[in-house]
């Protein structure tokens, strides 16, 4: 599961927890982005974002932090990260890329996006009642891929290639809203773990003078 995590919040954590249960995952890797090529640079230095993720996932034995993208001098392309993971894990083991619906809808703009299907299954977190395939926001080129890759019956098999749309608990929390709240010295408690919020205040992140 990738993202800038600027900062990590309960929406990220709940998505990962529900997907881990639904897909019976052994482990969820949180991989903070280093230099995301498809969006602006993260507001916060990589070291801070890594530490916030580390504190957020502490105590969950199924969650782990992977710093490979922030430690790389190159832009963070998901296809490169999955290729590296495949080299480490082998090509027989199932691997899942966990995405929110908004990120998935923008997939055709990603670098070498079609190669992702050969490296991993993709699990998309959709809001209850959402009909992504019927959404005008989904590009036709992506609808075609999804229609060919959705499992028709039974469990997903093989190490990669399927697209699974899973309904998850809708938590309307965003890192942007958290940053804006903190900038005006509002309360962000209960939007992200206390350990992360304490770290933010300790290092005066996102806070306006």
Domain boundaries of the chain, sorted by first residue: 2-170
Summary mean pLDDT of the chain: 91
Of 31, 38, 39, which is closest to residue 85 (Cα–Cα)?
31
Q: What is the mean pLDDT of residues 44-55?
A: 96
CATH number, domain 2-170: 3.40.50.620
Neighbours of 82 (CB within 10 A): 20
Outline where 30-96 has alpha helix (H).
Answer: 46-57, 68-71, 78-89
State the Cα–Cα distance between residues 74 and 35, nearest whole angstrom: 7
**Model pLDDT, residue 55:** 98
The answer, yes or no, to whether the previous bond of 179 is cis (omega within 30 of 0) is no
CA-angle at 10, arms to 9 and 15, nearest 5° = 110
Helix, strand or coil, per DSSP, at residue 165 = strand
Using pLDDT thresholds of 50, 70 and 90, give the confidence band for residue 170.
confident
Taking only Cα atoms into account, the Rg of the chain, rounded to an integer number of angstroms, comes to 17
Tens of pLDDT along 83-94?
999 999 999 999
pLDDT at 44 over 80: yes
Q: What is the mean pLDDT of residues 169-184?
A: 94
Helix, strand or coil, per DSSP, at residue 109 = helix
Tens of pLDDT along 138-157?
889 998 888 889 887 667 88
DSSP state of 7: T
């Amino acid at each position: 599961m990738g993202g800038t995590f600027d900062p990590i919040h309960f929406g990220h954590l709940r998505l990962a927890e529900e997907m881990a249960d639904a897909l019976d995952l052994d482990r969820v890797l949180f991989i903070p982005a280093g230099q995301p090529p498809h969006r602006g640079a993260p507001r916060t230095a990589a070291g801070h974002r890594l530490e916030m993720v580390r504190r957020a996932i502490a105590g969950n034995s199924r969650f782990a932090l992977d710093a490979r993208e922030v430690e790389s001098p190159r832009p963070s392309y998901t296809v490169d990260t999955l290729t590296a993971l495949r080299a480490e894990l082998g090509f027989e083991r199932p691997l899942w890329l966990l995405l929110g619906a908004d990120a998935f809808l923008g997939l055709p703009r990603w670098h070498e996006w079609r190669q992702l299907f050969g490296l991993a299954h993709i699990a998309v977190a959709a809001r209850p009642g959402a009909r992504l395939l019927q959404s005008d926001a989904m590009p036709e080129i992506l609808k075609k891929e999804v229609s060919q890759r959705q499992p028709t019956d039974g469990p997903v098999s093989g190490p990669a290639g399927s697209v699974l749309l899973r309904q998850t608990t809708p938590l309307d929390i965003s890192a942007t809203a958290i940053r804006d709240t903190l900038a005006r010295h509002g309360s962000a408690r209960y939007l992200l773990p206390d350990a992360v919020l304490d770290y933010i205040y300790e290092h005066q992140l996102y806070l306006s003078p």
